[in-house]
Homo-oligomer: A and B are copies of this chain.
Amino acid sequence: MKKPLILVTNDDGVSAPGIRALIEIASRLGEVIVVAPDAPQSGMGHAITITQPLRLHATNIYGAIEAYECSGTPVDCVKLAKNVLLKDRVPDLCLSGINHGSNAAINILYSGTLSAAMEASLEGIPSIGFSLLDYNHDADFSQATPYLAALIQYVLTKGIPKGKLLNVNIPALPREELKGLKVCRQANARWVEEFSESRDPRGQKYYWLTGKFVNDDPGEDTDVFALSQGYISVVPSMHDLTYYPAIPVLQDLEAFHTK
Contact B115 A45 (CB under 8 A): yes
Q: Which residue of B lies closest to A222 (CB)?
A: B242
Q: Give the residues from 72 to 119 in chain A that come closer than 8 angstroms, CB to CB, to chain B.
A: 75-76, 79-80, 82-84, 106, 108-110, 115, 118
Q: Does A228 contact B (CB under 8 A)?
A: no
Contact A234 B207 (CB under 8 A): no
Contact A106 B84 (CB under 8 A): no
Grouping DSSP codes into helix (H, G, I), strand (E, B) and loop, the A interface class, with mixed when no group exceeds half, is mixed
Chain B residues whose C-beta falls within 8 Å of the C-beta of A46 in the assembled complex: 45-47, 109-110, 115
Q: Does A40 contact B (CB under 8 A)?
A: yes
Chain B: minimal CB distance from A101 (Å): 11
Q: Does A156 contact B (CB under 8 A)?
A: no
Contact A195 B243 (CB under 8 A): no
Q: Does A180 contact B (CB under 8 A)?
A: yes
Q: Which residue of B lies closest to A145 (CB)?
A: B258
How many copies of this chain are found per oligomer? 2
Contact A50 B54 (CB under 8 A): no
Contact A147 B256 (CB under 8 A): yes
B50, B178, B188: the one contacting A42 at CB < 8 Å is B50
Nearest first, the 8 A-B pairs at minimum CB distance are: A45-B46, A236-B246, A53-B206, A238-B243, A45-B45, A185-B242, A236-B243, A47-B47
- For this complex, 21 residue pairs linking A to B, each with C-beta atoms less than 8 Å apart, are A40-B51, A43-B47, A43-B49, A43-B50, A44-B47, A75-B110, A79-B195, A82-B193, A106-B239, A108-B241, A109-B122, A146-B258, A154-B253, A161-B245, A164-B243, A186-B240, A186-B241, A186-B242, A188-B240, A236-B243, A238-B242
